[in-house]
Amino acid sequence: MKKIYLYGNWKMNMLPEEGEAFCRSLADRITGSLYGSDLVDICLFPPFLTVPSVLKALPGSPVSAGAQDGYFEDRGAYTGAVSMDMVRSAGCTHVLAGHSERRHIFGETDEIVAKKLRKALDVGLKAVLCFGETLEERESGKTIQVVQNQLLSAFQSVPGEHAQDLILAYEPVWAIGTGKNASPDDAQEVCAFAAKLASGTFGGQSRIPVLYGGSVKDSNAGELLSRPDIHGALVGGASLKVDSFLAIYENYRKLSAG
């Protein structure tokens, strides 16, 4: 069985006490199981203020924590912003960059995403670069072009030696929070394209994982995760409950065990 990345983006959900309770329950559920093995990599992305209570509940467990965002400047007069160094020093190992909600609600351009990505990698974080097309772009046949532009713009800011800290997440905008996931064939096609573009840019040995995100739940996870170029899931809604989050991996495991 291939290694699976099971990443949960809590978005603007989970008070500190809720995050702590979730992690205590998650830690109980995964002890002594294969979750501690090299076969599953679990990372949670809580809101900033919930990060400390998540980390408090996780010591000794194989689960890591990441931030949903970080700014590209180191410090200064940037009201409301949190630097990548702050993210790292709070104990996060990962950070998201270019999530579609940051692009579409907060107006982040490819240029801003590229700067954030560069800073995240420079401070030693693993960066999850999100990309994906809108419904209009898909319906007008522009998916690959849009995805290629987003990826190449971001890749320019990644020094070759940092490529091993890069993770990609294909999240079609129309599939996020809508209950309408991309079909396994469509997701595979775009993830394979992204993997090829990454290995063309960083060298064949780079093996950058590509995750799929957008309405992933237990009932569709098995088929999606079984596709050869989909290495994991970036989960929103279904990551808010321990049962539905773990069911995603368990369904994949059942399917691949035959």
- The first and second tokens of residue 22, run together, are 């979730």
Give the SS3 label for residue 5.
Answer: strand
- Binding of ligand 13P at residue 234 (CB under 6 A)? yes
In the bound state, the residue with its beta carbon closest to ligand 13P is: 236
Q: Which residues contact 206 (CB under 8 A, 6 or more apart)?
A: 163, 164, 198, 199
- Which range touches ligand 13P (CB under 6 A), out of 27-35, 136-144, 158-166, 211-219? 211-219
Contact 199, 206 (CB under 8 A): yes
- Binding of ligand 13P at residue 215 (CB under 6 A)? yes
Taking the least distance from each CB to ligand 13P, the nearer of 19 and 236 is 236
Say how far apart CA 116 and CA 122 lie, in whole Å.
10
Q: Reply yes or no on whether 94 is catalytic.
A: no
How big is the site for ligand 13P, counted in residues (CB under 6 A)? 14
CB atoms within 10 A of CB 79: 4
- Binding of ligand 13P at residue 66 (CB under 6 A)? no
Q: Reply yes or no on whether 99 is catalytic.
A: yes
Say how far apart CA 214 and CA 194 lie, in whole Å.
16
Closest distance between ligand 13P and the C-beta of residue 159, in Å? 26
Say how far apart CA 237 and CA 243 lie, in whole Å.
12
Place of tokens 């501690």: 36
- Which range touches ligand 13P (CB under 6 A), out of 131-139, 149-157, 228-236, 247-255? 228-236
Closest distance between ligand 13P and the C-beta of residue 178, in Å? 7
Closest distance between ligand 13P and the C-beta of residue 237, in Å? 4
- Binding of ligand 13P at residue 236 (CB under 6 A)? yes
One-letter identity of residue 15: L
- Which range touches ligand 13P (CB under 6 A), out of 59-67, 114-122, 207-215, 242-250? 207-215
Place of tokens 């991309």: 182
Tell me which residues in 84-103 interact with ligand 13P (CB under 6 A).
99
Q: Which residues contact 251 (CB under 8 A, 6 or more apart)?
A: 218, 219, 221, 222
- Which range touches ligand 13P (CB under 6 A), out of 69-77, 151-159, 234-242, 249-257? 234-242
Phi then psi for residue 12, to 5 deg, are -95, 60
Catalytic residue among 101, 133, 137, 171: 171
Which residues of this protein are in contact with ligand 13P, per CB under 6 A? 9, 99, 171, 176-177, 213-216, 234-238
Active-site residue list: 99, 171
